[in-house]
Amino acid sequence: MAKPGRKIVPSPDRNGGRIMKNKTKKQQKFKTEKNETTNDDNVIVLEPIRQSDDLPLSLNTKWINKQRVLVIASRGITYRDRHLMNNLKALMPHSKSEPKMETKDPNLVLNEICEIRNCNKCIFFENRKRKDLYMWLANISTGPTAKFLVENVHTMEELRMTGNCLKASRPFLSFDPKFESEPHLALLRELFVQIFGTPKSHPKSQPFFDHVFTFTILDHRIWFRNYQLCDEKGSLAEIGPRFCLNLIKIFDGSFMGRVLYSNPHYVSPNKHRILIKQAAAEKYRQRLESKQQRQLIKPANHETYADLDKYDDVFETIRPEDAIGPEKAIFQRKK
């Protein structure tokens, strides 16, 4: 019996009052395990990784072909040349841009610029007299370098074609069978593949093909076209741009070296303009000569002959002093 006036205080346990807490934790664990056992029959356990998370085979490969193309122009290019350069940059996700190069600097400076920008290919647009556009395609490390005259330029903004393609997508490259006929054309084909072909698994490129670049040889020139692949049947729709490459020379090195090939069918723009002026002058000279001949044959006063006597065909007479025999009687006067 407790004495009156005293309170009964429970004696502390060995763990300092932690027994109740441990019991509550064990009860909670038991309840959760019981709930899991009851719900295991109805729940489908999913795999930690989904099949959609697996990358396709095209993305699993590493970026091995590390082609980087520097696209640069010289000062003095026209607006159309600049638009063509921007169109090529938009179609080539593996390209890099650079400010315009001074006209005073030699082309060998481009090798240093490419090394600074970590590029192994180069497309250089050079304009002369604000009329003629030249395109240089070069392999920076060992060469070769091809120089072209760009003709018949039509940009995307100018054409407004119905075709379209996604930006940074990879293109197919289609070449004319004539590229396999001669050695210099085979060399140009390999150069086009390395410059215009987007490398596989490039970080800035899309892993699919939706357009095609065509290189066709006609009239000793290379014609460039860009088409959209509309469907699986092979129907095409032109996108643009359009231009024509007239080969001038192929050099052994990078913007230097000996000449490997020189196009015998190439006519410089200056000579072409001279021939046009000479043809116009010859046409004008022939027109003046024909006009003078018409004036002699058919004069302005509608006479038959302008420089002869109009009665010459009517009367055939002789001079009196030239008369002989009976002809003298014609000139005798009657008394």
Would you state the pLDDT for residue 95?
94
Average pLDDT, the chain: 83
Q: Which residue has the higher pLDDT, 119 or 54?
A: 119
Amino acid at 238: E
Would you state the pLDDT for residue 66?
85
Would you state the pLDDT for residue 46?
63
Give 74's DSSP letter.
Answer: B
Would you state the pLDDT for residue 241?
94
Confidence of residue 297 (pLDDT cuts 50, 70, 90): confident
Average pLDDT over residues 71-96: 94
If you search the block for the tokens 């379209």, which residue do you land on? 164
210-237 exposure pattern, b = at least 16 Cβ within 10 A, e = fewer: bbbbbbebeeebbbbbbbbbeeeeeebe
Average pLDDT over residues 235-262: 95
Would you state the pLDDT for residue 62?
78
| Burial classification of residue 140, based on how many CB atoms lie within 10 Å of its CB (0-12 exposed, 13-18 middle, 19 or more buried) | buried
Cα(137)–Cα(71) distance, integer angstroms = 10
**Cis peptide before 207, with omega less than 30 degrees from 0?**
no
If you search the block for the tokens 């003629």, which residue do you land on? 132
Instruction: Tell whether the model's pLDDT for residue 259 goes beyond 90.
Output: yes
Instruction: Name the segment(s) of the chain with CATH classification 3.40.50.10480.
Output: 69-266
Instruction: Tell whether the model's pLDDT for residue 5 goes beyond 80.
Output: no
Among 195, 37, 213, 180, CA closest to 124: 195
Give 188's DSSP letter.
Answer: H
Would you state the pLDDT for residue 77?
92
Average pLDDT over residues 281-286: 96
Instruction: Tell whether the model's pLDDT for residue 29 goes beyond 70.
Output: no
Return the beta strands (E) in the chain as ranges: 69-73, 95-97, 121-128, 132-139, 145-154, 169-175, 206-218, 221-229, 236-238, 242-251, 259-262
| Burial classification of residue 301, based on how many CB atoms lie within 10 Å of its CB (0-12 exposed, 13-18 middle, 19 or more buried) | exposed
The predicted-structure confidence for 85-116, as pLDDT tens digits, reads as follows 999 999 999 999 999 999 888 999 999 999 99
pTM, rounded to two decimals = 0.70
Would you state the pLDDT for residue 328?
76
Would you state the pLDDT for residue 231?
84
Would you state the pLDDT for residue 320?
78
Confidence of residue 321 (pLDDT cuts 50, 70, 90): confident
- What CATH class is the domain 69-266? alpha beta
Strand partners, 250: 146, 261
Lowest mean pLDDT, pick from 182-186, 193-197, 223-227, 319-323: 319-323
Would you state the pLDDT for residue 318?
76
Give 46's DSSP letter.
Answer: P
Give 16's DSSP letter.
Answer: S
Would you state the pLDDT for residue 232?
80
Among 120, 136, 115, 110, CA closest to 67: 120
Would you state the pLDDT for residue 6?
55
Confidence of residue 335 (pLDDT cuts 50, 70, 90): low
Confidence of residue 271 (pLDDT cuts 50, 70, 90): very high
If you search the block for the tokens 């196009």, which residue do you land on? 263
Instruction: Tell whether the model's pLDDT for residue 316 goes beyond 80.
Output: no
Average pLDDT over residues 222-227: 96
For the chain, the straight-line distance linking the first and the last C-alpha, in angstroms and rounded, comes to: 209
Among 137, 157, 134, 153, CA closest to 145: 137
Instruction: Tell whether the model's pLDDT for residue 135 goes beyond 90.
Output: yes
Taking CA atoms, 125 is separated from 67, 101, 137, 164, in Å, by: 19, 10, 9, 25
